[in-house]
Amino acid sequence: MEFENIIVTQKEKWAIITINRPSKLNALNKSTIEELHQAFKQLNELDSVKAIIITGSGDKAFVAGADISEFADFDTNEGAELARKGQKLLFDFVQNLSTPVIAAVNGFALGGGLELAMAAHFRVASTNAKMGLPEVSLGVIPGYGGTQRLTQLVGKGKALEMIMTAGMIDADEAKSWGLVNHVVSQEELLPFTEKMATKITRNSSTAIAAAIKAVNANSTDGVNGFEIEIEAFGNCFGTKDFVEGTTAFLEKRKPNFE
């Protein structure tokens, strides 16, 4: 896979997507969002990729926000379409991807950058990470799912505090709030997330995809998450992975999932 703004590297049974616009602090412009969509889509279709790590190039930023110059002159209809298309192409797409996505948050994750990290299935931050949604300081609100996912992760009060103050929190505070799962040094960030990816790849990809669907159902309006879980649980019984997993357990050996 060759792209202009991102780098895709496949390692063993997982892949790393690196947003590579260091001179712009890896800001998300229209082209980068489209490339990320294509990269996630293609990797999700590969049987050889069982986990994906998303990170930013350099040591200053994961993603420092959206490219404001692209939409500074938009009207209300164009603004709504920008958010709608972006959510469909990337943020909702990543959240609902059947391949697990880990965000390795290095440095600044602001605005669209934090929204991208929150769309991933979980997050690991470096000790120098700074996270925030500063959109109200520009006269807008988060438009790529930030108001929804931040509330789901940290609760209404803390989400509104972050959004209304437009302030940043550090990695340790983000962990205490439940926004990130782990905090490690910047040198340890990729090795740590790669170890986590390795653990994931040892398990059933079909079961993991079903778990992602069931967990996401919990935050989907009008959907009974318990029913989705029951259905997904039942469907697992018809898979090769279920046969291999249960057989391996009874035979006291490690499973070998395809």
Q: Verify whether residue 115 is a known catalytic residue.
A: yes
3 state SS of 55: strand
- Please say whether the beta carbons of 139 and 228 come within 8 A: no
- Please say whether the beta carbons of 109 and 130 come within 8 A: yes
The Cα–Cα gap between 207 and 92 comes to 20
The Cα–Cα gap between 129 and 105 comes to 7
Best CA proximity match to 174, nearest among 151, 154, 144, 191: 154
Q: What is the Cβ-side half-sphere exposure of residue 9, based on CA atoms within 13 angstroms? A: 13
3 state SS of 211: helix
The Cα–Cα gap between 173 and 186 comes to 17
Q: Exactly one of 4, 45, 115, 244 is catalytic; which is it?
A: 115
Q: Report strand pairing: 168-170 vs 101-105.
A: unpaired
The Cα–Cα gap between 156 and 175 comes to 17
110: amino acid identity, one letter: L
Give the contacts of 236 (CB within 8 A, at least 6 positions apart). 206, 207, 210, 242
Q: Exactly one of 4, 70, 135, 229 is catalytic; which is it?
A: 135
Q: Catalytic residue positions?
A: 115, 135
